[in-house]
Structure 1
């Protein structure tokens, strides 16, 4: 089943000003209550993925949603696409380290919730922010698209609802994180990148990803190798002159952003493309947005500059 509704349009429609204000009040109240209980206690990584039933929905989802975006995965044992999407969502929930919580709901055992949310088919993914429910997408989807939706959800949660997530016990998270065995193909890709064999590095990283599409290290290496290959034959002066003379020329801005990245000016690269998204429309706007997301991969999703740029991009888009 192909993903549908892979956007945050539902969030914007449901996040009315009144609802957002109420959600912010709930978030502040939750933080005050946590502080009164001795606050600052960390959540272990296992608690970032929870099984929810009709009996526990209010406490595990509605109450939690006042302090962290709760992503709901409607699934069933007989659903083959669910077996693809579910583990990915669990892995992503752990990787976001408290910025989201994943609530898994077995539709066979919780028909009332299934009906109340108006689910048309599974897997179906919803979110709850400050008690406000919204659809995210339906069907199995590539990890890059799912991550983009979750990033937008997190940005909207913070901007419109004042919800910033929960603290996670870093030591426990590190202890639970599986250690990947050494991959000789990945090692060869790193070596090719180090010696400047960009074509060889790109091919090697792609070989790793063909067998392991979720390999974060290979994704990062591939993004870096492709970036270096794009700029290796560019004339920096000509690129910057073209970008300065044609602010609305998407290709010129993309080339300049690539040079910014290679030169270590990460914020400048991100800001340039966010501004390009702001001033363009249609296919041009989408090309600028997609390239910005590719540059995020060069730096890595854990970098605070990426988080800040995602927030700014979400503000421009929505």
Structure 2
């Protein structure tokens, strides 16, 4: 099943497909904004929060009017922020200016089915779909679903892990630690959280080596350089590119299982814990690692 983004940027070239046609099975809120617009900066996060809380039956499409004047003209935008609500390809509601959160929520709810969207999916479904977004690099939509899960249950530890993964990719180390600290020991997600703390060390390794591009060039120039391959794997991991990370680390372990006192092996195991054995990126690496080590 295709995973649809819940919060996304849209341009004139993609508007017909993503908004007009895309509104056939969900309500799409179109936010016309500009980087220089102060009220837009106030309204944007509020819209994202409301849309996230209402669930996947609502989506938020963000239009930068500086880059898409033709869309602003077509929707008769006189001032920004301007918000248009589209259903089945038609404009059904709109407002201009930064309305309070409760007014925005009330305006959108009248266009939704009677059952609250927040109850339409279980916590597990929300967290799993958030993971699907995360794996495709759609951080905004993933974060929206994780917040929705936490709104249902503040101890949705899987959502905390997902948010921590996002913060790791954004380089916000303190927030990773804070999120992980909220996961109680004895839960499956506790091990995933500890694996994320290990990945904070990967960021330091990557940065001290000059960053991903430098490490990639070093691997191309010296494919047998285990240090280069290990650090390149660290760079890939902190960006969420686990397929590359596992490939590089496994190559290191295969060449020298005691490299850096088992650092490559430990890195592999930390990702196994984080993603789970059923994740496509993990594949049969656990079995291959066992054969190499024993």
**TM-score band, normalised by the shorter chain?**
0.3 to 0.5
Larger RCO (CA under 8 A, 6+ residues apart): 1
- Report the TM-score, using the length of structure 1 for normalisation: 0.37
Structure showing greater Rg: 2
TM-score normalised per structure 2: 0.40
